[in-house]
Amino acid sequence: MPDPPLVEVRRVNAVAVLTLQREEKLNAISPAVERELVAALDGEEVRASGAVVLAGAGRAFSAGADVDELSGLTPEEIVAYYADTGAVYERFAALPQPTFAAVHGYCLGGGLELALAADFRIADETAVFGFPEVELGILPSSGGTHRLVRLVGPARAKELLLLRPRFSAEEAAGFGLLTDLVPAGQAPARALELAAEAAKLPRLAVVVTKQAVNVFPETSREAAVLIERLAYAALGQTTDAGDAARAWAERRAGPRE
């Protein structure tokens, strides 16, 4: 019999749901997991979806890198390993559709880096977050440090990296890392609910809006405003925009006699 998948892929209407399936390892990230995640991200279920949810099976979202896989590697091999991991996370971050991480249990190290690559994070009250890397004499090396700074600012990022190797879901919400905090066991359902709503939106407008928000932090105000106006003009000519405008006008007019 073939080995069970390390990343399960399924569709729920217009939403692609990806689930890490290494329960015995708390969904630790290994090269094999990364290969299956890349295959899932490039697959038809994701390409045809309007939104993507990423979750973890069992007791955790992901406890981070599989340290057993790293033992014995030379410094050069470790650099190459994290370059590959960062490329996988960047591919997830670069998906055109909205992405949601449904977090429960441990979300540590590389697991937190993966969650930060999502557009939205939904966590339940059991979630435990943290970057333990500095305690181990290293630092997050798959893009997580940069994403953390962009999300919470330099001062808070230093606090979380240097002073808080673990923090609770409630604290994560207070830091602005979460879109929603839900009771235990409800993160996947809530993420799917929000993803389904996002998937109903006009697809091209969603893609352009996400890309604009992603580039605006490194864009001058003048360039950002120009991008907005050009995108508005282009999107206004699409069928989606015309259909949405007519539907809005009909709702405003109310029922006809």
Active site positions, annotated: 65, 110, 113, 133
Helical axes 203-215 vs 239-253, angle rounded to 10° = 110
**In the 3-class helix/strand/coil scheme, how is the chain assigned residue by residue?**
CCCCCCEEEEEECCEEEEEECCHHHCCCECHHHHHHHHHHHHCHHHHCCCEEEEEECCCEEECCECHHHHCCCCHHHHHHHHHHHHHHHHHHHCCCCCEEEEECEEEECHHHHHHHCCCEEEEECCCEEECCHHHHCCCCCCCHHHHHHHHHCHHHHHHHHHHCCCEEHHHHHHCCCCCEEECCCCHHHHHHHHHHHHHCCCHHHHHHHHHHHHHHHHCCHHHHHHHHHHHHHHHCCCHHHHHHHHHHHHHHHCCCC
Contact 82, 47 (CB under 8 A): no
CB 157 within 8 A of CB 148: yes
What is the distance between the alpha carbons of residues 164 and 248, in angstroms, rounded to a whole number? 48
